[in-house]
Structure 1
Amino acid sequence: MSEIVLYDYWRSSASYRVRIALNLLGLPHSSVSVNLLDHSHRSEAHLQRNPQGLVPVLGVGEVMLTQSLAIIEYLAETQRSELLLPAAPLGRHRVRALSHAIAMDIHPICNMGVAAHVMQITGAGEEARGAWMRKFIGEGLHAFERMLDHPSTAAYCHGDGPTMADVCLVPQVYNAERWGVELASMPRVSAIAERCRALPAFAAAHPDAVKPA
């Protein structure tokens, strides 16, 4: 594979997913920080990489890839790896469904821009932001916990090895802990997240491990 460059932000959930996937596949890469707080993602240089002005972007040679799940599936396909997506169609569907439950249902309404707009229109400041995050992350993860009540759930979300579903779950649990979401009533979510965090590929991708000095 050509040289890989990840344009990301240390606390971005979507970036965290791609970091884990790259690590699990053992793909060497360099990283370029795109600071969301100083609006570097809206710079002309970054908009050339991604017209949406979002992170992550994965540069593979001259090609710029966007959208975290599309990036992860591209990596799984080009590396011919069943590590992130199972070979069987039903297994692939289940892993995608679990991944989408987080990346397409929880994440979009809890990203930085949405939360900032909630604060602006309510005038309630950080109190409103925290309540918003706890409600939607909490409800989403409770639904995910129920989705894990399935015969294919084992040591990980699907089977005995981490897949794209686990790659999505761990960053969302990080956010849940950050915003004070109660996780005691989600034993499967909690146990799987802890099991994943013990793996070197997940530990090396943790925000604290990549936070700029």
Structure 2
Amino acid sequence: MSDSIILWDYWRSSSAYRIRIALNLLGLVYQSRPVDLVAGDQQSADHLVANPQGLVPVLEIDGQRLTQSLAILEYLDETRNAGFLPKDPAARAHARALAYAIAMEVQPICNLRVARHAVSLGGSATMEGWMGQFITLGLQGFEGLLAQGPDLPFCHGHAPGLADLCLVPQVYNARRWGVDLSPYPRLAAIAERAEAIAAFAAAHPDRVKPQA
């Protein structure tokens, strides 16, 4: 396997944030290639060659160029024996459901290009209102899913897994947009435990934000 790992990254992208956490947990050293989504760098010819969707993250690893954060996380799990998913099929399905609840339900609606388009249509929509509405709905559902399972230190086990890698960036977004986390004590406690882990802390947007 190649030693050269490159992450096409945007510091505030929750999808890229997930991959930074995973690489840190695995102790994999990588080169960050910043893609400024606000400036529109994702539509550059260079980036569209890497990912025709015009999205981040893109991970270059093992001679492969991988896109879509959940696909990347499962690749890392399978090739590095990361333990991001339980072995039991039913437990794996539950873990995936938690991860998908954020990555497939909340994050796409709160994607910058989606939210900007919604606000551009006029009416009473604001960026803060849009984000607050859908993040709140997502966290309500996530807390309910957690309540269906055992009370564990992390989302689906005693160590961080796939769902935790999705939850922590979403909690960051919730705080950023002023969403009150007090109605969701279980997920808030899990996020706090995860954020205290060095690999999570090192991946935080404030730690990787490009210097002006």
1:6 Cα offset (Å): 0.3
Residue 184 of structure 1 pairs with residue 182 of structure 2: yes
CA RMSD of aligned residues (A): 1.2
Residue 85 of structure 1 pairs with residue 85 of structure 2: yes
Letter of the 1:116 counterpart = R
Aligned pairs (5 A) from 1:99-138: 99-122=99-122, 124=124, 128-138=126-136
| Matches of 2:150 and 2:133, distance apart in 1 | 28
SS in 2 for 1:73: helix
| Matches of 2:204 and 2:112, distance apart in 1 | 19
- Normalization by structure 2: what TM-score? 0.96
C-alpha contact (below 8 Å) 1:16/1:205 kept by paired residues: yes
1:62 Cα offset (Å): 3.8
Report Cα offsets for 1:176-208 as digits up to 9, x if no partner: 000011110100011000000000010000000
C-alpha contact (below 8 Å) 1:153/1:159 kept by paired residues: no
| Matches of 2:189 and 2:208, distance apart in 1 | 24
Residue 25 of structure 1 pairs with residue 22 of structure 2: no
Aligned pairs (5 A) from 1:5-24: 5-24=6-25
Report Cα offsets for 1:40-94 as digits up to 9, x if no partner: 1000100000000000000115421000000000000011232x11111112111
| Matches of 1:200 and 1:29, distance apart in 2 | 16
Report Cα offsets for 1:107-135 as digits up to 9, x if no partner: 011110011111110155xx611111101
Report Cα offsets for 1:137-163 as digits up to 9, x if no partner: 001101000100133440000111100
Match of 1:157 in 2: 155
For 1:199, which of 188, 197, 200 is the aligned residue? 197
SS in 2 for 1:201: helix
1:26 Cα offset (Å): 1.4
1:212 Cα offset (Å): 0.5
| Matches of 2:104 and 2:171, distance apart in 1 | 15
| Matches of 1:200 and 1:103, distance apart in 2 | 23
Shift in CA distance, 62/194, structure 1 to aligned 2, threshold 3 Å: same
Residue 43 of structure 1 pairs with residue 41 of structure 2: no
1:166 Cα offset (Å): 0.3
| Matches of 1:43 and 1:151, distance apart in 2 | 44
C-alpha contact (below 8 Å) 1:152/1:159 kept by paired residues: no
Residue 66 of structure 1 pairs with residue 67 of structure 2: yes
| Matches of 1:95 and 1:122, distance apart in 2 | 38
Q: Name the count of aligned residue pairs.
A: 210
Letter of the 1:191 counterpart = A
